[in-house]
Each structure stands twice: as structure tokens, then as C-alpha cells.
Amino acid sequence: MSGIMRKIRNITAFLLIAACSVTFTACTGDEPEETVPTKMVTFVDEFGDLVTDDKGEPVLTDVPLETIVVTDEEGAPVTDESGVTQYEYEALPDEEKIVYKAGFIYSGYVSDGATNGCFEVARGQIEKSLGIETCYMENVLVSDFPEAVNTLKDEGCNIIIACSPKFANSATKENKASVDTYYIAFNAGEGRMISGFGGSLYQTAAVCGLAAAHNTKSNTIGIVADPGEYNAYGVIDAFVLGAAEIWSTHTDVRLDWAWSNSHKEIEQAVDDLISQGCDVIMSYMESDYAIRYASSKGVKVIGNCYDIPDIAQDNYLTGFFFNFSTFLVDEVRSIVNENFNPRAYSGDVGAGMIRLVNFGEACEKGTEDICKTLYDYIKEGKAEIFMGEIKNTDGKIMVEKGQTMSFHNVLAINWLVQGIRKTGSFTEVIDDPVGTDFTVHN
């Protein structure tokens, strides 16, 4: 069993040595001093709380095993030939096999599709590949994350998978205070019992921008995006840079912000983009509603949605998505196999973490050929998306000519690239948002 879980299964006294039974007499003699077996226990304070060191690790110490009287089948004390009562050291409990259960925490609803849909695919793969039970809680606010974790732990979950970048800090904080639960958190770093993950979603966004520019008739492309989505600015900017491969200096992209959980805001944003002449709209949301709504208006659509061919069959061009399954199955497997090694993983197109949806029938001739060329270059490491010179919407040079932004710098982007001609926001502040009812779903 790995690290902390091996040491502190029974919080107050998890034993690191094999059970042994040593019989001895109560009389003293000239025998050599006996080495007394010990057990490892954790320190608790006067309030019964676990004591940890400055790194958050539980403080452990060796203590001697207790001695107990040897008894016969009827419970009577056993004595030797001289009538001396026999004692033995306490028997240590056999190590029990841990039953692992993974709990997923969503900031939206699993029925929203898009990013949440990708996590649901991974959840099914974990059950199928590893044979362990999973469950989930949805519509969890950041402020409710600690209680959501405790509720899932009460349901037997010892692996928590945080499915939104909004939970990254909360998951890290919970991990520091926990000694019996593993965490795998979207957009978090690594820690004692936590792995973080993310990836270069902007790579496929650039390919989708190329597809959009090749298919627009009005030469005006729209984007509806949630500002809270993973690397929102990086994905949006990459999409525009992809479109610029065809449009060059004439790139005309319009951007409207909306929250993923508000159908009203999404409809307002899509309607606004259509009124500006956008005949191709890219959605970057936690839900797939923008794709469905734009498609119902007869607009060609692109989005971060693996099943876009099913929900916008007649109007979709292509799409991009995270393939969480491989990473999450491998990470959970390492926990189950007791060789978990916390890490901060960043996957890309080459690693299969980032995927492109097959091209739809709504595409103009040649779309797949030009997009596949760029996609293959990216996959082989021959093309960089954020290579200068790149300017922001104010004309300021953000990436010098010949320079390339690193993955971590792309994640930190908080500016919009030149080519976005107009932006709008339909996001509304909700003073008292309604969160989860803490129901656990299987």
C-alpha cells in the first residue's frame, strides 16, 4: 500500500510490522534482555485531532506492543510447568484490502454534455476497465466543495475527481487537510496525495479556427464562451490565430461572453452574434446548449463537444475535446495498484489527450484536407500556435517575432488577440446562486 495510506489505515494506530506472537514468562532471570516488538501509531492532540508536521504529514512514532495473558480454549490463563502465567505480545490485525470508490464532483450537470460529457465518458471507462464503483455529485458551487467531498467520503469514496478548473484551489486545500483520500483535480498542481491535469486544448482550437474561416460566407465568425472555462483566453486566441491562417490581416471575429449554466445568456449571445452577420459560431462552454441553440438557428457550428455530430448533425463543421479517459483510468489504476505517484500532467494532441471531431457534411469542399494538414503538423510537433509576432486587440506586441509561448505561458493568457473586432458580455452577477442538494448519483 502506498505511502500514507499504508501507515494510517486505522488513524490512531496503523501497524507497520507483521503480526507476531511471542510467548514468555513473568519471572526474571539471567536471560539476555529481550527486544520488544513495536508498532507505529499517529499522534493526536488533547482534542483528538491528528498532529501533522510542517509539510502536512502525520507525525508517527514507535511504541511497544502491549502484553496479554495467554488463555486456553475455555479462557483460563495458561501457565508453564512451574505455574508461572504465560504472556504474549498483542497480535497485530491482518491488513485488510482497501475497497476503492471514486467520486466525481461537477460544477454543472452531467446532462450538460461538452466538458462534463467527456468526464462522464471517463467515469464509465474507469468502471469498465478497473471494476471499481463510481458516483458523482453535480451543480456544486466552489463554496460547497468541502461539504461535497465529505458527503462523498461518507458514501465510501476515497478517490475524489474534481471536474472543473474552478475546483483546483479547493481540491488542493482539501488534500492538505486529508490523510485518507486521493484527489485528481482538473487544472490543479501536484501534492502529497493529489495529481492535477490539463492540456493543450488550444492546439485543436486553432485547427477549428482554420475550418471556420474556410467555411464562412459572410467573412464574420462568432464565438460564445464562458470566461470560467479552462484556459478560455488561450483557446479563443488560438481559434482566431487559426482563422488568420486563411484571412491574414482581414480576420473578423466577434466574441460574446455568457455563463454555461444560463440558457438565457447563451441565447442572447448567439442571437447577438447572428445579428452581426456571423454565419459560423464556435462555442467554448461547459455545456453544449450554445451548440444546440445556434444549430437550431441554421448557423454552422463548432464546439468543445465530443458528440457534436449527434446534437448538430446537419450544421456542425467539426469540434474539439479532451480525452480524459486514458489519463484518469491510468491515474486511478496507480492508486488501486498502490504505486500512485502524484504529478501535474499536461497532455496534448501528440499524447492523445486532445482530440478533433470528425468533419461534418456541412463542411465546404477541401475543409478536411487543409485542417488535417495543420493537425498533423501540430501532432508531429512541427507547428506552434503561439509563435510571434502576435499582437493583442490594442495593437500591442505580446509575442515577439520568432518567439514562441510556452504551454504554461499560454495557460496564463488574459488578453485577446488581434482579429477579434468586437466583444460583448451577457454574463449577469447572481447574488444568491442555487447550488447542489448534495444528492449522490451512481
Which pLDDT tens digit goes with each residue over 163-218?
999 999 999 999 998 888 999 999 999 998 999 999 999 999 999 999 999 999 99
pLDDT given for residue 9 in this prediction: 44
Which residue's C-alpha cell is 483520500? 181
Residue 389 has phi, psi (to 5 degrees) of: -95, 135
436, pLDDT greater than 80 = yes
Instruction: Inform me whether the pLDDT recorded for 49 exceeds 90.
Output: no
Query: Residues 182, 183, 189, 195: what is their CA dihedral angle, to the nearest 10 degrees?
Result: 60
Q: Where in the chain is the domain with CATH 3.40.50.2300?
A: 101-199, 201-322+349-425
- Mean pLDDT, residues 25-34 taken together: 51
Determine the Cα–Cα distance for residues 168 and 197; give it in Å rounded to an integer: 10
Q: Three-state SS across 137-171? A: ECCCCHHHHHHHHHHHHHCCCCEEEECCHHHHHHH
Residue 93 banded pLDDT, cuts 50, 70, 90? low
pLDDT in tens, 287-304: 999 999 999 999 999 999
Residue for grid cell 445556434: 294
Q: Which option is the CATH number for 201-322+349-425: 3.40.50.2300, 3.90.470.10, 3.20.20.70, 3.30.450.40?
A: 3.40.50.2300
Confidence of residue 382 (pLDDT cuts 50, 70, 90): very high
CATH class of 101-199: alpha beta
Report the pLDDT value the prediction gives residue 104, as an integer from 0 to 100: 98
